[in-house]
Structure 1
Amino acid sequence: MFRGLSAFPLTPTTEEGVDERAFSALVARLAAAGVDSVGALGSTGGYAYLTREERARVTALAVEAADGVPVMVGIGALRTAQVLAHAEDAQKAGASAVLLAPMTYQPLTEDEVFGLYEDVTRELSVPLCVYDNPRTTHVDFTDELHGRIAGLPNVAAVKIPPVPGDRAAARQRVAALRALLPETVSVGVSGDWSAATGLNAGCDTWYSVIGGLFPRTALALTRAARSGDAEGALARSTRLEPLWELFRAYGGLRVVSAAAAQLGLAAEPNLPLPLRGLPADARRRLVTVLEELELELDANA
């Protein structure tokens, strides 16, 4: 399942709880579009802001709405015991894989990060994807640490931050990491503006924010890259640059939150406090971008 497009939907949430109907509809749209997997409760899914009970319920909803499409579920938490509890809930709900980022308040040593994955993989019966996201976790992985973790049982994939924009540098980045990983461990790219370059450089998967809202747009880019049409993939990404500008300025979560509301796919507000939506000027810019890129056609397909 760690190939192609892994689409990460928003989990519409208010202070009253998760909007279950809206979430299930978002996941069902992804399954209907033909995504390769659904990434529930990733950073776009707001996993860190939800209780164990909310996360277990969201997982069950995702598996049901995905209708057979593999679902990977985020299990990150501050304490190992909490991670293990989320892993147990995900497996009981029928998740096909789990995604683990090393959340922390105190800085972690490499041995502590390795120990987290060692403790968790020991208890797993489904594959695990290592989530390398220093922007949100403030944990920096070295390639050597990735290599150590990849040797643990049930580790099947690594989700890396954006690759360099230069094509040659991107290929070198992916090759250097692959040299330290078993052949059975896939490499996937995140940072949507980096997806085309990462896929062209040899990444197996795009872990996609826009894929969770505009799956057909993301699938077209993914399929172009994986079929060898590198220029076509880059052209599709370049066309989306106005959206990428908003992502880089405000974060993908806030942008897709506003887009989902604008397109009638979620009510507003849909982020848990203290998170807030886009400022008014950015919201106006987003409306223009959605119209110019005709993304509402994807949303309403």
Structure 2
Amino acid sequence: GVDGGTVEQRGVDSCGDDEVYVITGTEEDLLVDTRVFRSTVNSLPGSCNVGAAGNDAFFAVDVQAGEYWHFHLRMSNDDPDPMNRNPILYLLNASCAETQCSRELFANYCDSRQDEHFGFQFNESGRWYIGIDDSNAGGGVYLLDAIRPTCDGTPEHGEACDGGEGCSPDCRRILNDESVFETGFNFNVFEANLIELPASNNLTIQGDIGGFEGCAYPDVYAIDIPAGSMLRVEELGADGNPCTGTGASSIQVAIQNRTGMTRATSTAVMGCALTNANFPTEGRFFIVVTDARADRRTPYAYRLRLARM
């Protein structure tokens, strides 16, 4: 068993190792034992101010441009010290160089002993490296899933939906004037709920955030915005009635592009959060809702208004 020593595994000790195990399609339950490895990466790519003191293991993934992959890292039941595990998962490019800090390149949403997930769409063909690490020093035993979902009518892990009523052609849950409540695990730009505004260009959406046992997952909404538009996101009461401004909310709203570059963040106006952003060019953007209090579930509602600049 693993308690007595190392296990048969696929990971290697350093990024770019010639003996690296290469993933080319969906693979699940890849066993990783980092106890035999070193700690070579002590912070996440691009100095994201997140420590990664644990031992590292690496896999390679060979991809084609445009492919979307979903990665899931969890502790193995064979880990001898599960109370001291806090997994981290990240990507490095073919040169193994650290890149700019980007939320889409790593997953560290959760506190100790929780799974980590993240999705990534590759914009060019080639080889990337998956890093398995930990916030805590030392090694652990983990299981890695590397899943390449395809939007083909068959639901897979890493897809919000795949076919059927309320599912968009690119496999997103749709919010519109007939369905205004957040749905599914919409924590990244690929599984984001897709907002379709009615002809009035006004829509109130409702959801809740937090309560994931120590995991600070955001809620993410996609919206297609025409050139020359202004988007206004206005906080309401959780029941959809006007915000009264009583009490300081811990919930924040940001409008971002696909890579996480922020266009606007919410500010308090008479105690109620308001977010405005101008869009000279068209594109798909994302409304990202976060809460500093990940320990409890909090309901929210926002009114979206799209107008000409």
Q: What TM-score do the two structures reach when normalised by structure 2?
A: 0.30
Q: Which has the higher helix share?
A: 1
